[in-house]
Chain A
């Protein structure tokens, strides 16, 4: 191994360590039998048991799951439509509408929706405002994944279907839909993890009534740091990790879409 290769590997391994050590510490200390996060005392699973009896946490988790399930379903449908439209009909305004919410700082979407719901619709904040916000920022991710999948396909398949007399609907159902199915599943999983993880936008549109897992973690970190946070963080990590892995298996473009 020559010296430039050696340094390349050293620098890269250091960066990988920088990425992984903090998370490894969180996971490790979630099994630490001490109320303090300072030193290792012994192995325990009591923080996980404690989570199971923490009503606030369970409530927040149930809200997060419900919101993620509904918002990712709707945004998969709308995002797939947007992706199809951008690929086939190329309306000029659609990329702007679909991609800008993804590209701008989250706080801007958060405050604009807060203003909109409170000042214009005079709506009390809660499930509906969170759902609408999550769908808004997820559509773009799904659309990008679906469009990438369509762009990689041979147009002659659709022409062949039409030449064989298939109606547009039949072409869609029998040809397009099966072909973009992996992208739809990947888009759904991506939207699901984005929703279950979102803190910034949810923070502005949640109001006082509805709590989600990230909001719950935020208030716990702000007040006092307990090993329970390690445990819920570890569980959340395991869940999103699994979803991302499955999504990236189904559609490698997911990795690029998350940029």
Chain B
């Protein structure tokens, strides 16, 4: 009796697994691989890519071009700087909020979390637009300041949520123990709470840093002409210059950065966890 039962179970597995797998192979993995190939192609006569019959003619032109001009390096450096500053400001703003929520009575926590999410329910462009309205009249629009404010505003909940999830799990007995051993509030924070919250900070930082790296709408709508980031560069190559090989090469480099960061975060939060084991 068990044989016919296991037979349909195997079939069920594929009925459930195949449709999403095939869909994502077709519309996620294959397009991603095409970008990799496109980075080694030549530009077509009317922009885009050279015809597909010259598939064998792979070239490093796009990468050579990128390496030949220091402006690209500058834009990458600026993108990393903006992402780092945004992440840092998000940590500073999110920490008190996440802590307050984590230490609130249970029935109030969900409400306070919802209050952080709700502004996020509004359209991304509306949130940028709100800052155009606020910063325009005080002459702060089209400045690096406006870009940072817009970035922080758009990504803050990504920092609050993982940090809150982490802080919520802390055992209050650790703080009591520290207090009994004579640690003041400041010492208790730096020696107990902060080290224990590192995994939350790391995952929040990845959720803020990575999307900021590729953002083009915030610099375009809030920043000046000198504030363009990798995202603007990619968008420009695909939609305005129609230099698809160059755009693809830039996308690959951004992907490489993202993968490196994701790896680093995974490694760091693992180390962070080991660190907390030593503390507890």
Interface residues of A (CB under 8 A from B): 4, 7-9, 11-12, 15-16, 18-23, 25-26, 29, 37-38, 77-79, 81-82, 84-85, 88-89, 91, 93-94, 97-98, 100-101, 103-109, 111-116, 118-120, 132-133, 135-136, 139, 143, 167-168, 193, 197, 199-200, 204, 213-214, 217-218, 221-222, 225, 229, 233, 236-237, 240-241, 243-245, 248, 252, 255-256, 258-259
B38 contacts A105, C-beta separation under 8 Å: no
Chain A residues with CB under 8 A of B128: 221
Closest CB-CB distance, B125 to chain A, in whole Å?
5
**Top 6 nearest A-B pairs by Cβ distance?**
A105-B214, A22-B130, A11-B96, A116-B31, A112-B31, A82-B20
B125 contacts A136, C-beta separation under 8 Å: no
Closest CB-CB distance, B245 to chain A, in whole Å?
10
Task: Given A11-B97, A252-B110, answer yes or no on A23-B125 (Cβ-Cβ < 8 Å).
Answer: no
Chain A residues with CB under 8 A of B31: 109, 112-113, 115-116
- Rounded to whole angstroms, the CA-CA distance of A15 and B95 in the bound complex is 10
Residue of B nearest to A74 (CB): B23
Chain B's interface size range is 35 or more
A104 contacts B20, C-beta separation under 8 Å: no
- Rounded to whole angstroms, the CA-CA distance of A22 and B100 in the bound complex is 23
Chain A residues with CB under 8 A of B17: 81-82, 85, 89, 91, 94
A233 contacts B21, C-beta separation under 8 Å: no
B110 contacts A81, C-beta separation under 8 Å: no
Interface residues of B (CB under 8 A from A): 8-9, 12-13, 16-17, 19-21, 23-25, 27-32, 34-35, 38, 48-49, 52, 93-94, 96-97, 99-100, 110, 113-134, 136-137, 153, 156-158, 161-162, 165, 185, 207, 210-211, 213-217, 221, 231, 234-235, 238-239, 244, 247-248, 251, 254-255, 258, 262
